[in-house]
Structure 1
Amino acid sequence: MKLTVVGGGSTYTPELVDGFARLRDTLPIEELVLVDPAADRLELVGGLARRIFARQGHTGRIVTTSDLDAGVDGADAVLLQLRVGGQAAREKDETWPLECGCIGQETTGAGGLAKALRTVPVVLDIAERVRRANPRAWIIDFTNPVGIVTRALLRAGHRAVGLCNVAIGFQRKFAALLDTAPAEVHLAHVGLNHLTWETGVRLGGPDGADVLPALLAEHGEAIAADVRLPRPLLESLGVVPSYYLRYYYAHDEVVRELRTKPSRAAEVAAMERELLAMYGDPALDEKPALLAKRGGAFYSEAAVDLAAALLGGGGSPYQVVNTLNRGTLPFLPDDAVIEVQAAVGPDGPVPLPVPALDPLFSGLIANVTAYEDLALDAALRGGRDRVFRALLAHPLIGQYAYADALTDRLVAHNREHLAWA
């Protein structure tokens, strides 16, 4: 089995490699290819990756290359974890929206749209090369904004599935609170990427007993602190929102916070410099503890599980993925991309049925889906007016004066990445 990681020079990659090494019985990789245009970073990450494999007794071969076509040639699965523009672009995404009193965040609001505009054309080019190299290869997208990027891939006819670590993070946290194995915790997870709610927590599988009410009653304070929302709100909703819902439910509060502290991009950039220095140490043969602060917790385990299921070698029978709606949420178009539990196998994911949703949730899902449709149109066809329409449709923006000012800032800060600008 050959697996390729595009964006293999990321400081995330040792987390992924550690999972490949530990879970080699689930996903027996014979060749792992790390592709990245940044040769200096790639060699540091690749060196540590080889030492991790050696320490854990993995016999697979690790190859590093800046040649995308060579890297994806013959790959059975390709993982995408790239960041167009790097942390410098992320720093801008997190700051210029604040000038208009709007959230500055890399996947949500105006910053998320900027990232989508930079990313979609690049990802589609990569996907076409993957298709030429192996039409049966699966593309697993971890590149944000996952929902929009995955929708672009699926609309273009690629064999693609989107992946996020929010659900597996909740699964692990709830399992610890329940003192049970993570595999016993089945989430009723529903929504869009970075716009999801846990509407149930079932033990043993999708038909198991729902213990979410008991979890909220016994551990409400801890859960509320984790998602940074008040416990009374969670009790009122009767569900657990992902922490990304804080941008919607406490928008102005978050804007005030973001204006008074360094951006997350600045924090991550400093962390990456420290991590890369560590990776260059030839004595280091395991992922450093600092990597846990970088983000992406449990990404490797989710990626192994998904790749194994898609390639027919195992994996959990049910997994939370980003895939086509196909009537699962009847208030959305069939070609919308939703994030839900699905049965995953070699033919791809099939979403499990979702009970009717409270309008409080379905209304916001429908609104953001409409924004994502306009965002994808802007990413594919370009043009100031399309960018403006997408921003005007976003529920975190919505006012024409804000949308107009944000459009100008978005274009000004991203001109080098926008072919039409």
Structure 2
Amino acid sequence: MKIKIRPDNTWIKYLLGYLCLFILYTPAYIKRMTLFDITSYIRIVILLLSVLMFLWRNKWRCPGIVLLTVFLHFAFVFSGILNSSNISYSLFFLLSNVGSMCLCSYILMLKDNEIYLKIIVSYFMVLLFINAIVSIYNPDGLYEVSKVFVIKNQSTVFLGDDNSSISLYFVSLFWTTALTIRNEKYKRILFWDIVLFGSFVFLREIGTGIIVFLAMALLYFVMSITKFTWFRSGKKIVALNFGIFILIIVVRIQKYLESVIRFLTGKKASLGRNRVWDYSLQLIRNKFFVGYGISSPISYDDYSTVLAMERALARTGNTHNVFLQQVFWGGIFALGLFICILLIAMREFDRKKTMRRSNILLVILSGFLLRGMVEIGFEYYFVILPLFYYIDKVEECRAERKLSVSTVCFKPARAAMGYESEAN
């Protein structure tokens, strides 16, 4: 029986709002368009188009999409044909995000799909395990460990870059979630996935990764307590993260808790992301309502020069906070739109979730949101949401199919036994 996935107007509005969010700060962003930026925009367009296709088409019929994505993935990891770190970084996200959704959309449609999910989960977890093991022997960096994983310009595909490695972990969580939802007994894989990620971030001493790990590990433990139900709401998770963002703003403006920050980080409170946030907040005061994306008295070069302590900041104008990024480039309008998009998505999730899957999905969702406190990767927010929607639709269609089959088989049996005639 053909499974048909009907579109949902709520999710169409959600995707359109997501597109409008980028338009708000595109004018200033396009002034320093680089190869990295171009590939990023291409990735965003492909991401949106792929999600729209998932909503409007029945399913991916060609299994070649699986072979093609896996082939590109292996060729990308184990070859040195890519000469640009910008290209490699963008292709990694392209393959991991869009490729994962394509694979999920097809594999979830298969009748016996657990073996495919287990193979892919194992593949990503092995890569993450290699990453953690290599960190033991080279705690100062992974750039010179093996030429197999290193390409030109000191750029590594999976190994060697903190953000790429953490992104790899989120891809692993993505697939682990898909597997665990299909069968609750695989929930222990999610536990070992979190443990593996913890070993890596502690060995590499990735401060932001450690924060995300501790938060997710705590949430995983808390969610295992069935009586604790407060966090079983996507909207409350979003509200909690926005509250953390407000706390960051208050602390940085009023200079509260400076001694606590020094104690926890072992560094001066004016370094790192604190300095980025401080300077961004100073500039936001002048363009609080519309941001610097629509009308920009401050040039992109001026902003990048002050934050030139990191090359990534000089290239992208990264505020290292997904909420702060919306305010900086789009003002409070962009921030409001961004929060509305998240709340719409979470309302859909809260309406259709079941207790069986809520713990697993909210743990991974919380990891995405917490990561957004120190980075601006939209993928962490939006890659997992189509999976929520698609799994729900597939489950509904399968339930309807089982009901229709049982009804067709049940009526002749009742008639043969004489129940129908008695009823008449």
**Which TM-score bucket, shorter chain as reference?**
under 0.3
Larger radius of gyration: 2
Q: Which has the higher contact order (CA 8 A, sep 6+)?
A: 2
Q: Which one has a larger percent strand, Structure 1 or Structure 2?
A: 1
Question: Structure 2-normalised TM-score?
Answer: 0.25
Question: Structure 1-normalised TM-score?
Answer: 0.25
